[in-house]
Structure 1
């Protein structure tokens, strides 16, 4: 059995929430109240994480697919496990496009999107090939010695730049609560907080579960607050309209920040944070997809499945999407409601069955 320690789990969950959540203006459909929508989604996200933790607590040494098999039987597990495999693969695909579009628009402008995606997937393949322990150690080192210091530096640079205009956040609640609730539930709950169901494929690797709840809630809350601060910065510096119509507003902000003769722009700092956190999230969603598949069909040769999944992602990415349609898809598609089936409906059913079985056993 392979193990993940408490510090590693905190690092993984924190970077997972941040991931690609700061690339786009989360909840901007709520206009200047987008930050309130993020906080509301965070509250709902905490409830989601609580549901996932309760399921894991009932079966501490099993992953999501194994739990489904215990509760629902083999007949249901095969189709549902395959659906979850596709779900995790789909989340991986969205993460892949987020990172590749970001890199192509800012860092690798002369490279083709296909070449960028293949480069990213080769990095992911290498991380997954090394295994969950290596991925956890890599995330721990990167988070504590690079991501967290850079985020702290970035916050101080933005505050010291004098570019923040909090009048852009007014008037508060000018449209009432309805649009905020709608955006929170239909968009922000699934991404990034609903994606945390991925950890039902990871938590069983924990060496000790003494602080699992505390670590999970703390990392989710801190990550959610950082996403909220990102949205506040976008609106306060760029305004609602410019934030809404800018492809990657966080990078526009990074070019504006100027501290006289000391620092001109934060592009490298922001680019490093977005790239690494995006890679880490993509690695764990890909891992969840592979683990879901091999658990469902009880396959021993994990590396062969890994190669197959990486090739599948390359084929789908290069034949089914383009950057423009992808961005429109993210904003207008009702797919978030479909995701809620996997992130909310099925977990609630599993939890209710857990409670029912416990009562019968008592």
Structure 2
């Protein structure tokens, strides 16, 4: 039986939520009020998390795929589970492409993107073949390192004299409308709504009672970290540059210079971002694999992993021919429509159907 501890779940969720959020200034279209966007999105994320954990509470031994089949029945449930499996793999593909592009454009500039993605995927498959417990154990080791590194970056940027707090003013210069426009559907769905994938993992927790408590603490921790990164990026780079820069956080790290001794920490920043991206990508990927495995119970999950890995590789290269198209697809199609349906619309409806049908009628 697969089992993960409370701290491993917390570690996985925090690393997942930080994930690709560290690449961009979340809510930058709200200008200097981007940090308010993150905080408001986090509170809406609490409401979504309550729905997710309430569903899990009704079926503590089941993952999301099994929950859907139990609530809707096989004829409606299985097609929806297959759509969720494809959705999770699609999300994995987007993270996969994001971090492949980061590595190619900043670190391995002469290496073909396909080579980087293949190595990335082989590493993910190796970890997953070892088991979810191994992934959980690595996360509990790496989380303190990631948190310490982020805190160290903030301190070093401060010592370098780069932080200009006046970059955050005036607060709400254009009112609440630009803030609310960024909160939903963009940043409610990413990163906080993306925690829906953990409904595929909560059933593996040693003790089911603290699922909601752990999840709320993880959302709070990640939300505060993302807020601080937003504030630092805006205060160091300014709103205009932070919005125009491909990877603002890396731009902040490049400006660290303490007595001409501690400088050129680009590689440090790339490794830090890679860790978050790796966990987010692998958790979405394995969530999709587990959903397929729930439907096709007689098939070896390792074969499902291999076939899913080939599909993700194809999708990331062929379906998205260039990075500008990748960004456009994410902001204009994925977040407002695809993510919105699977993360903020379907789970509440599943809970309502459960309440309407009653516990006794659920098979």
CA distance in 2, matches of 1:147, 1:335: 27
Question: Which residue is 1:120 aligned to?
Answer: 120
Return the TM-score normalized by structure 1: 0.96
Q: Is the 8 A contact 1:78 1:297 kept in 2?
A: no
> 2-side partners of 1:57 and 1:107: how far apart?
44
Q: Does the Cα contact within 8 Å between 1:127 and 1:283 map onto a contact in 2?
A: no
> Alpha-carbon deviations, 1:312-344, whole Å to 9, x = none?
111222212122221233344364333111101
Unaligned runs of 5+ in 2: none
Separation in structure 2 between the aligned mates of residue 359 and residue 277 of structure 1, nearest angstrom: 39
In structure 1, the partner of 2:282 is: 283
8 Å CA contact retained: 1:93, 1:317: yes
Counterpart-to-counterpart distance in 2, 1:335 and 1:15: 20
Find the aligned partners of 1:188 and 1:265 in 2 and give their Cα distance: 32
- Cross-structure match for 2:184: 185
Shift of 1:83: 0.6
The answer for the alignment partner of 2:47 in structure 1 is: 47
2-structure distance, mates of 1:317, 1:30: 29
Q: SS at the partner of 2:246?
A: coil
**CA RMSD, Structure 1 to Structure 2 (Å):** 1.5
Distance in 2, Cα, partners of 1:334 & 1:113: 23
Comparing 293-302 with 126-135, greater Cα deviation is found at 293-302
Q: Give yes or no for contact 1:39–1:228 (8 Å, CA) kept in 2.
A: yes
Separation in structure 2 between the aligned mates of residue 329 and residue 34 of structure 1, nearest angstrom: 22
Q: Which runs of 4+ in 1 moved over 6 A?
A: none
Q: Which residue does 1:102 correspond to in 2? A: 102
Gaps of 5+ in 1: none
Query: 306-315 or 320-329: which moved more?
Result: 320-329
Tell me if the contact between 1:104 and 1:113 (Cα under 8 Å) persists in the aligned partners: yes
Instruction: Report Cα offsets for 1:262-290 as digits up to 9, x if no partner.
Output: 41143232212100111011111100000
Instruction: Give the match for residue 151 of structure 1.
Output: 150
Matched with 2:37 is: 37
Q: Secondary structure at the match of 2:7?
A: helix
* Distance of 1:65 and 1:332 partners within structure 2: 28
Q: Give me the whole-angstrom Cα distance separating, in 1, the residues matched to 2:334 and 2:135.
A: 33
Greater shift after overlay, 315-324 or 72-81?
A: 315-324
Query: Would you say how many aligned residue pairs link Structure 1 and Structure 2?
Result: 360
Q: TM-score, normalised by structure 2?
A: 0.95
Could you tell me which residue of structure 2 aligns to residue 198 of structure 1? 197
Tell me the secondary structure at the aligned position of residue 25 of structure 1.
coil
